[in-house]
């Protein structure tokens, strides 16, 4: 499997769209506001970088979450429908998702690639039922050519998120079933079945895009602790770790002490909070008896290391934080 060149195509993607650049200063100032009679503007104007670090640490230690809500992070996620259904369960967030009822753009791009393989010109925008039937026929003709696993992965990766276990096994039949389902989908459209009904046959692996807005409190106290954990499903875990890395780069003061629930719990009881990277690299040791998932103290770091690994590189893969 080391020869696969387009592995990135089959992974979820996370892109930060917009955020409040001075959020750490606002949050630290809001934290101090709860204890100071001064006007917010005066507190904000006098809030130095050093004081920001002190106040953020204090919020972490005390679990004082409301100041964290004075922020917003807007990011776009490309993932499977499996992951998007988990993502929208986080209630303190806003979502706008690509409509599967009105758009089949990922599928059409995949069919165009198939058309190139079998030397058939596939229309970018189908004009009627006959075009949909041609889509279906093209897919089945391509499958009759018995393409290899790596070629199938490149084709199918245009429209689907592929589990790492499937790639690790080189499961060609999995890819073929995905293509057969799309052939059935376009056959139904060609027979006059509306989008909203034909989509019932689509696999949950099909890609979607979703725009997400969350504040720092939801990220730090809920989304990241739950979804970065090794017990989270691999795709949403990958998305959470990718997002954390982006956030830790732009606002390290805010997200340094963030991580799976074991990290959140650890930093709530320590005299001095410890950063996620320090916990992963063993520069800090866990003091809690067990994590919320009942992993004993002696096993928490190994569990954390496992959670941080890219699930597509588990065959001897290392954490990129080690």
Distance CA 108, CA 105 (A): 5
Strand partners, 100: none
- Based on the residue annotation, tell me whether 61 is a catalytic residue of this protein: no
Distance CA 166, CA 152 (A): 12
Beta strands in the chain (DSSP E): 13-19, 73-80, 93-97, 207-214
Look at strands 93-97 and 13-19 and give their pairing.
unpaired
Nearest partner of 89 among 212, 178, 260, 245, judged by Cα: 212
Nearest partner of 280 among 254, 250, 307, 311, judged by Cα: 307
Cα→Cα distances 204→42, 171, 248, Å: 52, 18, 31
Say which of 108, 187, 217, 227 is annotated catalytic.
227
Nearest partner of 152 among 133, 171, 165, judged by Cα: 171
CB atoms within 10 A of CB 168: 14
Distance CA 223, CA 36 (A): 31
- Residues with catalytic annotation? 227
């Amino acid at each position: 499997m080391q020869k696969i060149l387009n592995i990135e195509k089959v992974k979820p993607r996370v892109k930060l769209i917009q955020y409040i650049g001075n959020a750490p200063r606002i949050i630290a100032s809001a934290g101090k506001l709860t204890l100071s009679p001064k006007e917010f503007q005066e507190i904000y104007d006098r809030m130095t970088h050093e004081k920001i670090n002190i106040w953020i640490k204090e919020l972490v230690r005390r679990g004082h979450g409301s100041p964290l809500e004075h922020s917003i992070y807007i990011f776009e996620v490309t993932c499977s429908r499996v992951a998007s259904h988990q993502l929208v369960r986080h209630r303190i967030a806003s979502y706008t998702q690509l409509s599967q009822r009105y758009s089949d753009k990922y599928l059409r791009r995949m069919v165009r690639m198939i058309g190139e393989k079998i030397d058939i010109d596939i229309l970018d925008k189908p004009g009627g039922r006959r075009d949909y039937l041609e889509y279906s026929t093209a897919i089945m003709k391509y499958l009759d050519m018995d393409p290899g696993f790596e070629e199938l992965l490149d084709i199918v990766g245009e429209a689907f998120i592929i589990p790492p276990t499937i790639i690790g096994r080189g499961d060609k039949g999995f890819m073929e079933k995905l293509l057969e389902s799309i052939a059935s989908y376009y056959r139904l459209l060609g027979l006059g079945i509306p989008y909203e009904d034909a989509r019932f046959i689509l696999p949950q692996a099909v890609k979607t895009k979703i725009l997400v807005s969350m504040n720092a409190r939801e990220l730090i106290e809920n989304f990241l602790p739950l979804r970065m954990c090794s017990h989270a499903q691999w795709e949403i875990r990958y998305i959470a770790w990718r997002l954390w890395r982006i956030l830790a780069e732009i606002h390290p003061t805010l997200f340094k002490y963030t991580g799976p629930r074991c990290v959140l719990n650890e930093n709530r009881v320590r005299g001095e909070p410890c950063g996620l990277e320090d916990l992963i690299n063993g520069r800090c040791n866990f003091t809690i008896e067990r994590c919320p998932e009942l992993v004993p103290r002696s096993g928490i770091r190994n569990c954390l290391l496992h959670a941080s690994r890219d699930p597509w590189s588990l065959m001897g893969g290392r954490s990129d934080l080690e």
